[in-house]
Structure 1
Amino acid sequence: MAERSVKAPKGTKDVLPQDSYKWQYVEDIARRLTALAGYREIRTPVFEHTELFLRGVGDTTDIVQKEMYTFKDKGDRSITLKPEGTAGVVRAFIEGGLPSSAQPTKMYYLSTPVFRYEKPQSGRLREHHQFGIEVFGAADASVDAEVINLALTLFQTAGLKQLRLNINSIGCDKCRPQYNDTLKAYLKEHEGELCEMCRDRMERNPLRVLDCKVESCQKIVAAAPKMIDHLCEECAVHFEDLKKYLGALGIDYAINPLIVRGLDYYTKTVFEIISDNIGSQGTVCGGGRYDKLLKQIGGPDMPGIGFGMGIERLLLVMQSEGIEIPQPSITDVFVCTHGEPARFKAIELTRELRESGIKTDMDHCARSVKAQFKYADKIGAKTVIVIGEEEMEKGTVVLKTMETGEERVVRQEEIKLFLQL
């Protein structure tokens, strides 16, 4: 009985060579825009100690309760594949001694693998990849506006048009406890109508109920007291400043008092950027401020803010809007050979042209001349260099322009000169 072929795990997806240029296109935009704004790259491990996410993300979140890939290693330590990017960056920031450096510290991570055990759906996989930025050490709402503007600029540079920005403030540890009491009292009146998870959340972290996706809970939440109406003076001023900064940048926004994001570490500003092109699962970027997270994880009392966006989801939106990503050429020049001696000259010439910055390839399959030309056409070579026995004797090659069929004989030492015309 023949063995079945091994397939990729459910919820994962290969990026094949014919598609990787799309990722590189987005990554190039991200690197360019972050460099202009003074952000530097950080790379953190793909797994962390589970405690980091319990303390940082929050044990009442869906991520911790239902979605984390957690296992024991051979040393009986609890390890988790990272379900989001911020906690690991905060841990690295503290462990690396960066709080003592000049502030603010601006960092980004790119195409970072993130793992969540959830039902795979359009643009949402069990392993997906995120671009995110994190800023530490800046409390003013101007950096909130900068972070939001950077995300929007990336989308606009990628060609997206149908986007909406929603913002909210979820207060701080001064005003949120009183609001939690008010919200909890309201939810108590509707306890019998809440789902089982929300009844548990109501006692432990009532703000999480606002993030529930169960329809019956959403109806109750729609009429619940809003955090934005219970902000302390500091949070209210911060939110007003954010709106003024967004206005100064010419950024349109809507206030959505139900945005709380799916993570416990947020304070004050939270935001989502939504596309109307991918149905109900339309959030393409989300983030906010987390002024207490560093202290919570064991670092100094220092503010932070950031966002994360899924690369797969961004590419899906670009596709839905019909955005054509320019496909780079694979090979500009193909060296076609006839006869064994020519092959040794071909590999030497291929190296020389590559060293001159010209995308060059040659036949590695011992094809006939006719088959070599067919292959060169398939890979999009603009020019074919032909070397045979006669050319070897004369020290020449034949240059053929594939689009026009024009041929010219040139001396081997003049090849680069003609290719650069």
Structure 2
Amino acid sequence: MGFLTRLQRARRTLVIGLFAWVALLPAAQAHLMVAQRGTLNLVDGGAFMVLSIPVLAFQGIDDSGDGLLSSAEFGAHRQSIIGAVKQGVVLSDAQGPRELQGMMLSLAPPDHRGEGESEGPSSQLVVMGRFDLGEPGSPLRFQVNLFGQSAAEQVFRVTASRADKSEQHLMTLTPQQPSADMFPSAWQTFADCVKLGAQHIFEGPDHLLFLLVVLAAGWGWRHVLGALTLFTLGHAVTLVLSLKGVVSVPASVVEPAIAATIVGMAAFDAIARYRGHRPPRWLLFGLVFGCALIHGLGLGAALSELGLDRLHQLPSLAGFNLGIELAQLAVALVMVMLALAVQRWRGDGGLQLATRLVGVMAMAMGLIWLVQRLSSLA
């Protein structure tokens, strides 16, 4: 059996498997929605906290197994909840963890209320209390280890404020990064945002797939350099404009549009290959730039949800953008190296066949995402 025949069979098998695998997944989302909220107000040597915590973050308190906490369950497990909060919500200074004093617990506004119940059952528990701080001006670090099970319960947004200096700082905590410094320096903010930008690209399958489609349209260094440059410029423009409030497009429009860019670019490349001629470079790069504008809206929404540091807006934007570009450059380098390896192993014919396979996979995945995201609007 010849190599091309085996590769064609592998392509059919891979595409069928891809459809089956993706069909089992929920709608792919590039940007995580924030669920939990909280505040930390520093006043007169203390930090006053209000924090909403998902019920499913606590072990052994949901006796009914419905994912909610009733008033009866709340009363029965109150002491274990207090112990879990003291261990899972920590504010530390230079002297170590500070004790949470005067803790008050209450059920959040209920998801539904049974007959005769004054409160609950609820999916959220509200915690209030005061951390007694040590030396004034000591660096502070806040940590939460009480995350729920669903994606919506995997992020806390906590706003820290310091009344004497009129400062506010938004912290975004996740299971991967459960702690954050309060009121960080500009340099630390920049470094953190570089990490966030790179992480967003590596964890955003739609951005990576679009980049793969664009690079597969031509593996020459001029094409790779031009495509990366225009993709960078395009999404940087709308990223900044969206964060500044100049452009505002709802996620219900942006998310399907991002999936459509993948389908569109893959279809454009497939048609060009079928006709047997390359489109003008200016047309291809123009499409890349236009699609990048759409992707920038999604990236702006992601940074907005993660929390743009109002104290250091410029370092936040610069760091997030730099992280995105470094991640894209790393991905592009790996893709080019793989393309060169295929070309050396199987020649130009093998590379062309592999490129067509990439286009088919990208179009299939993009179509599935597009249908899923549009159907979620119904």
Pairwise TM-score range, normalised by the shorter structure: under 0.3
User: Considering only CA atoms, is the larger Rg found in Structure 1 or Structure 2?
Assistant: 1
Higher RCO (CA-CA < 8 Å; seq separation 6+): 2
Tell me which protein shows more helix as a share of its residues.
2
TM-score by length of 1: 0.22
